[in-house]
Structure 1
């Protein structure tokens, strides 16, 4: 089932793909009969010894008789939150989440008065959730007939992946209460590619461009180029990037976005440094080189012709801002002032590529998604495995109901606009932020393969 879920949501950044040979295997790894679990596990170990960032921490004598997923887990470093393995012939081995199954995300909050509120924070375009009538800002009162409480939130949410239909009781938040309740059925299905949202805000003659970017798929450079061309024609002087729900994706697309923002860069300006194990070494790439890894991308010079040439950029983040979107934040810093507002990012300062059996015919259907590189910017800055901390911490849950993304009065956007136009962030009183009991797009979803 190719469309079981959007792999990009959880996969590591794809830096490059090359064949993994099974003919020059490590002599310390025993040989097993083809077709056995042990045979697969030996292939997994051999591949990981070559490419895994923490290869030197792997056990010398693992238990080859374990099921493949358990064997893979036994090889991983305690520092590794992101490597995973799937069987391409068994959809049940793929990671599942509310977003990739149904096309929405939610957060369970404990309000100041002790009440539990479950708010829908993201609904994807062209998704089962949108087709069912869900909207950002709606409140969920029940999941499959059960009211959500602090005691059962873990059990209720963990059971979602076991269903192909969700029955939700939802309503609107008005003056601290849920009104207009109704039951909605959301069916498991596929969510299609998400568009880039753009707006231009203006006050006192100053124009601010706003981009909400959900992810970084390959092939997005024409859309980015058009958005920046429109901004340039309109005379945009400030830029807000909203990456709050952006899990990442293609580093090439992230580099393309970065090429469209600052002044003082060229095709040959350094963009990223990859540092791997003793086999992988260190790899440096310029803006032009990294963009070119996407064969469908517009080249650097075409993109840079529409660059805004700014000296600073405002970036909105949350705990689910990850991977390539964190690279945007970190790798712009050598070239301009990055003003980050929102919450600490996830902390995925790493990249990798997919390892699978390239033999024809293929003998092993498992596919490995390991951490292979740590990533750094042109100045060598990185090491943000605990997340990138914003200069101004603001929670989008400080004001309910949540307003639509792109609304100038939405909590995070209004905080940035106040910083731009009034020179002060309107963050409200931070101690009034509700306690967050659960978010459907945060760990434990990153247990993937563990």
Structure 2
């Protein structure tokens, strides 16, 4: 059985690397000249028929004359929120995200008195935003000289994504008003890989480790090992994972994180189950197998040597928690108690890999990012399309100013620390205090990669 799955994994890897042929064997197959839109659309259709999770719902006779993006959308299931396609020669076709814009995200809030404010909730390290002086918790008063009001807030803030340079008037929240206003110019640019943020809190001799992760890139196992080695040598007794803005990434890196938390697991313990269409079938992976799909990853044995051996973990979440981050929550549950605090997650219970033309020279420059598998944990639990709900609902914006991530007084973190150290704490804050009108996050900007290369 073990050898069977090895063969199946290698076959799937091979399928993802080869070109999906544009030449069909059926008599009714259309034949379009190379280089035409129709030729590209036919390649897309053939690729999707092979890999797409909802391939059986695709139209039998699509309109091949549609523009490529429109054609691709015509193939998608009504249940699909996440598949997308890009032209590798055209940056404008890529989904917009905090990483490839200015490096900050924001939320538009309506306070209990009716006032509308726009607060910066995330600033990436070494981003155009951070280099310009923006910080989490700042209030945006004006965009390009225009004051933000209740009526124009969403339209005005959304217009940022179409700019290459923006002028912001920002200030700090203090005692119900904005002070220290100043103008900041932010230029468009790409933000590089984000570092892990860790802290250790201690009260009455009890130590709690805190780890904030923005995403799950390949190649992060050495950094994870270092952080958990520090946690273990410090003797932490509780762990808080902050995944509130984590849209996912590599499932292998998610598996590596999970390998260092619970006791009683081995490299052969089941980590994940992928269920695809009739071509993809069902694929099961152990911790060791999944971690190894990152070519540069440390082994399960090396990582698990730093296991904290905890019987529970606290996870901070929001609607921006998705994909591989949700896999961490769901796939730890067979092995450990997961206590979730914050908001329900996005609901991306699926994964996939990119499909592109591997011919030399390449004849098609489009790259497809389809939903290929639904994902489940070792107990075959999944199906969280509406998100994973927390045991303790906390609105991180209910208390202004919004404090830096890792600050023990920050809303989500303080609610967990209070629970840990006082065994109670205000973990069900008044949800009606502040209403979130809009958030700038883009759900399609990240995709949970399977590393089938």
TM-score range, shorter chain: over 0.9
The answer to whether 1:337 aligns with 2:340 is no
Partner of 1:9: none
Q: Residue 35 and residue 23 in structure 1: after superposition, are their counterparts in 2 closer, same or farther (change >3 A)?
A: closer
Contact kept? 2:173, 2:179, Cα under 8 Å: yes
Does the residue aligned with 1:106 lie in a helix, a strand or coil? strand
Q: Judging changes above 3 Å, is the alpha-carbon distance between structure 1 residues 185 and 313 closer, same or farther for their aligned structure 2 residues?
A: same
Q: Which residue of 2 aligns with 1:19?
A: 18
Q: Which is worse superposed, 126-135 or 436-445?
A: 436-445
Q: Which residue in the other structure is 1:191 paired with?
A: 191
- Structure 1 residues 14-413: aligned runs within 5 Å: 17-22=16-21, 25=24, 27=26, 29-413=29-413
CA distance in 1: counterparts of 2:251 and 2:188, whole angstroms: 29
**Contact in 2 for aligned 1:53/1:277 (Cα 8 Å):** yes
Residues 395 and 433, structure 1, Cα contact 8 Å, conserved in 2: no
- For 2:339, what is the secondary structure of its paired residue? strand
Alpha-carbon contact 1:29-1:46 (below 8 Å) kept = no
> 1:322–1:345: 8 Å Cα contact kept in structure 2?
yes
Q: CA RMSD in A?
A: 1.8
Distance in structure 1 (CA, Å) of the matches to 2:199 and 2:98:
28
**Deviating more after overlay: 381-390 vs 88-97:** 88-97
State the structure with bigger RCO (CA 8 A, min sep 6), 1 or 2: 1
**How many Å separate the matches in 1 of 2:210 and 2:433?**
25
Distance 1:207 1:329 in 2: 22
The answer to whether the 8 Å contact 1:102/1:127 transfers is yes
How many Å separate the matches in 2 of 1:445 and 1:20?
A: 25
Secondary structure of 1:126's partner? coil
Q: In 2, are the aligned partners of 1:341 and 1:393 still within 8 Å (CA)?
A: yes
- Does the C-alpha gap of structure 1 residues 50 and 367 become closer, same or farther in structure 2, counting only changes over 3 Å? same
Distance 2:107 2:307 in 1: 36
CA distance in 2, matches of 1:332, 1:40: 41
Question: What displacement does 1:273 show?
Answer: 0.2
Pairwise CA distance, 1:157: 2.6
1:14-44 deviations in whole A, cap 9, x for unaligned? 9994323316646354121111100000000
Question: Is contact 1:125–1:194 with CA below 8 Å preserved after alignment?
Answer: yes
Q: How far did residue 209 of structure 1 move?
A: 0.5
> Aligned pair in 2 of structure 1 residues 82, 178: CA closer, same or farther (>3 Å)?
same
- 8 Å contact kept, 1:260–1:307: yes
- TM-score by length of structure 1 reads 0.94
CA distance in 1, matches of 2:429, 2:308: 34
Unpaired segments ≥5 residues, structure 1: 1-13
The separation in 1 between residues aligned to 2:25 and 2:194, in whole angstroms, is 43
Other structure's SS at 1:159 match:
helix
After TM superposition, give the deviation of residue 159 of structure 1 in Å: 1.7
Task: Give distance in 1, aligned partners of 2:274 and 2:433.
Answer: 38
User: Would the aligned equivalents of 2:419 and 2:427 in 1 still touch at CA under 8 Å?
Assistant: no
Q: Match of 1:4?
A: none
Is the 1:315–1:329 Cα contact (8 Å) retained in structure 2?
Answer: yes
Query: Given the superposition, is the C-alpha separation of residues 349 and 29 from structure 1 closer, same or farther in structure 2, using an over 3 Å criterion?
Result: farther
CA separation in 1, counterparts of 2:14 and 2:163? 34
Residues 325/431 of structure 1: CA separation in 2 closer, same or farther (3 Å cut): closer
Q: Number of matched residues?
A: 434
* TM-score for the superposition, normalised by structure 2: 0.93
For residues 442 and 393 of structure 2, the distance between their equivalents in structure 1, rounded to whole angstroms, comes to 18
Task: Give 3-state SS (helix, strand or coil) of 2:79's partner.
Answer: coil
SS state at 2:356 partner:
coil
Give 1:146 deviation, angstroms.
1.4
Checking the alignment, whether the CA contact within 8 Å between 1:271 and 1:331 is kept in structure 2 is: yes
